[in-house]
Structure 1
């Protein structure tokens, strides 16, 4: 089942253009839910965890357009690649006795036995929080019809971690923010957003860094407000960050055009010529040339191509394409070859269509 999910870096849905995708790579809505007749995950026995997987499989397997599979039975490389594609969380990849229920278009997934019994996730390209929430609630309804959920009339949904009690809702967007990073404004925005009750972290969430100037913005408040109110407040924060990034990019071009162009074209030259490149350097250089395209320079790297390459060059996904473990040097060689080939193909397409690269 999971091999099919890893045949391409992006699903057909994530391969589409979407609102604000020049800055927002993707939107994710996650709902944490627990069964009333099972202990929370920290108190579950191995037998109870296995029973929940079997019950979930029985209740959900066979639904048209969805598949169900065990995650814990997969090798480390497959689990890493699924995390890199953002189909599962790092926690699900590392926990024992875990499973995944996922739609064929990869838009909807239900992680079983992560921190909570169920983590319902909706993943869409660009800024589409309201649409992602609408889809997530449909899955939430499906789950609630099949399982008695842990719910308190005063507190709301009960979760393993107290910070998720209430709605159990986490909205997050993946943002590409080179303008705010290069103008040294990002730390000020991170501080202000945290004061307003939002979290801004690295690409893979808590504990990860912001390689490639990629950040995750998410809400921290889940209690004392409706889901709709939380989404509205979250969109206000996301919109303000998008507007700040737009202004930062304009300021860079107006004030440091020569220095900026030199940096961006150097990165393009390295990516189109390098024979070895690490994942970190490749991510930073790709960030540069994506910024170049957004500023109207003669480097064409669409938001979709940028996202495809970000996933394709990661350690796990890259090795899955070869079907085996590669040494660090072999990964650097194959990563450089993949980027050169992809950018050359893009250049040829642009030349055929009368564009520039």
Structure 2
């Protein structure tokens, strides 16, 4: 059973790893990158699918960014790189670090993500010469990742907290606990549709288990605040809020053009209403993003065309 899906969209565990015998990617040449890809491929074996990233179109690559399967830095890299996939596990080879291993699952599921990530990480550690120091832990391109080199994060949907201006005080409390709150695409991104990413800042001198426990505790507290705040908003605004949600549903079902910005606003209202399949709604959120929409229709679309196709796609999804 997926836990706390009304407030937690997804959970992610990410490990950064580097091979001892090669410089970091900032000083890595093309041959070195190809060798690393080959070594990782052999270590993973046939259970992991290589996506042939170099052969993907620009739209296909950016669609993977929209779905959080790869980072924008990975797409922009000039080095040879590869993406390996097995179910919820995605492995970027030659991103900022030689290996970025991540597992993403729906709802509040950090432990499940961690357990799956550890299985793949053990495989890589057994078969590759991973750069590790007894004092500093895993060595990484960026010093802020030293130690466990693990980022644990949850994507939260917080309309109640956002509307009632409680976010600033929560952000201050998170900062004191060594946690960070950002937009849905991490550092530098703006929040949209009331979606925020909460993650650990500390990786040195703290175990993976303690980080996960700390984030889980915070998520539980924020979920309680968010649910209480939503109930208060519904009591206070009653018919007015119901009217906004109903109008949002009507727009999605009958509009002939819907922009990305408008869909984000409508999605937030409908998700807050809680009358639809939340998992399907979250999937739809990614499917109608600009590049993903182009991939789904197998054609390049300008902004106006995307708005038309987005409305069509949404109406099919809503039956």
- TM-score band, normalised by shorter chain: over 0.9
Does the aligned pair in 2 maintain the 1:172–1:218 contact within 8 Å? yes
Does residue 98 of the first structure (1) align with residue 81 of the second (2)? yes
- Distance in 1 (CA, whole Å) between partners of 2:139 and 2:23 is 11
**What's the counterpart of residue 278 of structure 2?**
303
Of 23, 29, 37, the residue aligned with 1:39 is 23
Question: CA separation in 1, counterparts of 2:296 and 2:316?
Answer: 15
- Contact 2:43–2:123 (CA under 8 A) maintained in structure 1: no
Report the CA distance between 1:321 and its aligned residue: 1.3
1:15-164 to 2 correspondences below 5 Å: 18-62=2-46, 64=47, 66-96=48-78, 97-103=80-86, 105=87, 107-164=88-145
**Residue correspondence of structure 1 range 184-333 to structure 2 within 5 A:** 184-293=165-274, 300-333=275-308
Return structure 1 stretches of 4+ with deviation > 3 angstroms: none
Contact 1:98-1:113 within 8 A present in 2 as well: yes
| 8 Å CA contact retained: 2:40, 2:124 | no
* Contact 1:170–1:218 (CA under 8 A) maintained in structure 2: yes
The CA distance in 2 between the partners of 1:270 and 1:29, in whole Å, is 36
User: Unaligned regions of 5+ residues in structure 2, if any?
Assistant: none
Q: How many positions carry a matched residue from both structures?
A: 318
Q: Secondary structure at the match of 1:170?
A: strand
Question: Matched residues in 2 for 1:182 and 1:272: separation?
Answer: 26
> Helix, strand or coil for the counterpart of 1:326?
coil
* Cα distance between partner residues in 2 of 1:71 and 1:133: 25
